[in-house]
Homo-oligomer: A and B are copies of this chain.
Amino acid sequence: MPSRSQSISIGELARRTDCKPETVRYYERIGILRDALRTEGGQRRYGEDAVRRLTFIRHARDFGFSVDAVRELLAMSDQPDMPCQEVDAIAKHHLEKVESRLQRLSVLRDELQRMVTQCAGGKIESCRIIEVISDHQHCISETAHGGAQDLG
């Protein structure tokens, strides 16, 4: 059983784990945070265990693990006696994805760098950037770059 004192409000939990109350409710809805205890008036109250669990979730998300991966990691961390091969596999798989993304992004960077430096600053008609986008022939790599979504 978790700690006796279930006195943390959703707002405080959010503050302590650097996220928003909406996100906490979202995690509850999709089932990676357990349903919270409620006050008589129906508000959620949490204990320290929830802080730990949510910290884990947020941290794993920071590492770029998908919510599904986080779900698996959580399930595993709830089974401390099991061997950690699967944890290892998930992490390695993720690492591979990060590495391949890194590869593609750096090709992209080179391509962009090249096209920016080659722009002579004249008319659009003769702009190197527009030219390169118009015609893949101008690219270094023959294959698609694979996009670069979510660069926020």
Contact = CB atoms under 8 A, between A and B. Distances in A.
Interface of A: 18, 52, 55-56, 59-64, 73, 76-77, 79-85, 87-88, 91-92, 94-95, 97-102, 105-106, 108-109, 111-113, 115-116, 119, 121-125, 127, 129-130, 133-134, 136, 144-152
Q: Does more than half of chain A's interface fall in helix, strand or loop, or is it mixed?
A: helix
Contacts of A113: 95
Q: How many copies does the complex hold?
A: 2
A105 B63 CA distance: 9
A17 B89 CA distance: 37
Contact of A136 (B59, B79, B130): B59
B130 A87 contact: yes
A91 B119 contact: yes
B101 A151 contact: yes
A76 to B, nearest CB: 6
Contact of A112 (B63, B130, B149): B63
What are the 5 tightest A-B residue pairs by CB atom distance, in nearest-first order? A64-B148, A84-B127, A80-B125, A97-B151, A95-B112
A92 to B, nearest CB: 6
17 contacts: A18-B144, A56-B134, A63-B108, A64-B108, A64-B148, A73-B130, A79-B124, A83-B121, A84-B121, A87-B130, A98-B105, A98-B108, A98-B109, A98-B148, A99-B109, A102-B102, A150-B150
